[in-house]
Structure 1
């Protein structure tokens, strides 16, 4: 079952006896687990029928003991095991999962790790309950995720603003959702969110950010590129060098990929590059500024500065100095 399918079923009160929630992205695991703890039982029922266990402080026998209890004055009891990835031999739950109590909802939060789906334990969980793998969202899918998240709350967002948030916040969905909630609380209902809203309510500069740096470099706008990188150098904590290098590497790799596309139409290019079709025009313009040979050299330079940022081949240059030197080499070498 997908995340949306699980939540839809829960909202219909269609419960399964076991939810094994695993994977690298904690956000979806927390959302499912929190929905169950907040909505299955009433506040009056929770006192006797809701139990929270922690992987470091419990074991398989204790979990099974709780799971096999019958609810008191309620239709269900809820047993949540947090940090279950710390439990050794989690597969020993098989004895219970073979015949789970239908009045118990056992929720296993198994974060940052995943079971081997080919093994019998995984297949048993999938047969008798819900086996959900929470995968990290790809960076190129993050702007669409932001758009969808806001749409569910009756807000819209312009493509540039969604891209700005994605570039600045990264793919930690818990962090992204927290920042989006700040916007939602601060703005009137059904607002179309722009870069101005983001700067005012979250503090991400609409003029001095990695997205604007990419645009300036794509246009070979030397003045604007230097203004932005000087701002980065003066504010290293808000604009760390590794994030700058990573974002620029992705940008120039996409630009190199664009050169080799047979079909450079907006729809086809957007699909291949993993970007919103709105931004394809920027790649078309940047491709005119950067031929293939130049892009190959830039990618080599980015790798060189990645090593320098980690202390290899760099004795005394600060992160700010490295950022300035990097941009100079991209524009002038």
Structure 2
């Protein structure tokens, strides 16, 4: 069941006795939680009818006991079960004894006044386990996994429109870039952008650039671009700005090295006729980072990338073995023509 369909049912107060939310997209799972809480209780903090248990800290028997107890006030109570790692193949050394037979028994006859929600913030569950098979059969499974670019982009555009705002194309692209296409981060930043553009109802690229700070990775991406284009002045200025802001040269070198390595890997895979989706599976890297790397690598040669990679490796070795001062070494690297 899609999240939007289930939210629609919840708004009609058509509740299921048991939900299983599977996926790692925090914003989507939090949206589900907020809507369910809102529809079950009028109070913002309702300790009687809305409770939560962390399976890293308490045993499952406490959850089942709570679920089998009728609510003190209201028609329903909601029990959120966080970190149900026993639904995965993960093994933990712990003194907790999660008796899964209690849950299996409860699923066969859940209390109608209790709404049990398993917040399974994992990419997948262990399908071999009996309890997982029962949950998939007896509970309402809701997909809150990370969105692909294909689904995220129209979702965001529709969300912005529904809020009564317009956004320039360049502003939208900048927003997606600066947040690495991470939905939770995007939604947090949109709250600021909506407030900033409250009067005009139009979000401009300058708004995005001024309100959303660049991460270290994005700054080093820019640094990488300057180096590859032999823009020594811009390279040095940005490097000094990073030092002033408290960043360490060794960390900057490490991230830059990682970015060059990714470009080399992507370029090799492109030559092997890999599609972007295949690269994501092979390299275990966010699809949006792969997309950016593909676009950048197409304009670069193996020779240039290989040269930079070897220079960074050698420089890192000389710095760590005390042969060169780190800041001087990196400045010389930035000044070299390629």
TM-score w.r.t. the length of structure 1 is 0.69
Structure 1 position 131, deviation (Å): 3.3
Change (3 A) 1:131 1:138: same
Change (3 A) 1:36 1:269: closer
Structure 1 position 186, deviation (Å): 1.9
Counterparts of residues 1-333 of structure 1 (less than 5 Å):
1-43=1-43, 46=46, 48-71=48-71, 74-85=74-85, 88-89=97-98, 91-92=100-101, 93-111=103-121, 114-132=124-142, 134-136=144-146, 150-158=160-168, 161-162=171-172, 164-166=174-176, 168-170=178-180, 173-188=183-198, 190-194=201-205, 196-204=206-214, 209-210=219-220, 212-213=222-223, 215-217=225-227, 219-237=229-247, 241=252, 242-251=254-263, 253-254=265-266, 283=296, 287-288=298-299, 290-299=300-309, 304=313, 308=316, 314-315=320-321, 324=331, 327=334, 332=338
Structure 1 position 96, deviation (Å): 1.1
In structure 1, runs of 5+ residues without a counterpart are 263-267
Structure 1 position 18, deviation (Å): 1.3
Structure 1 position 125, deviation (Å): 0.8
Looking at structure 1, the residues matched to 325 and 195 of structure 2 have their Cα atoms a distance apart, in angstroms, of 39
Deviations along 1:159-186, whole A, 9 cap, x unmatched? 6545555555456654443233222222
Looking at structure 1, the residues matched to 84 and 293 of structure 2 have their Cα atoms a distance apart, in angstroms, of 44
Aligned length: 315
In structure 2, runs of 5+ residues without a counterpart are 86-93, 281-286
Structure 1 position 106, deviation (Å): 0.8
Question: For the aligned residues, what is the CA RMSD?
Answer: 4.7
Change (3 A) 1:48 1:246: same
Deviations along 1:28-57, whole A, 9 cap, x unmatched? 333322322233322399464333334355
**8 Å Cα contact 2:194-2:201 kept in structure 1:** no
**8 Å Cα contact 2:260-2:308 kept in structure 1:** no
- SS of the residue aligned with 1:30? helix
**8 Å Cα contact 1:259-1:292 kept in structure 2:** no
**8 Å Cα contact 1:22-1:112 kept in structure 2:** yes
Change (3 A) 1:281 1:32: closer
Change (3 A) 1:269 1:99: closer
Change (3 A) 1:120 1:255: same
**8 Å Cα contact 1:142-1:166 kept in structure 2:** no
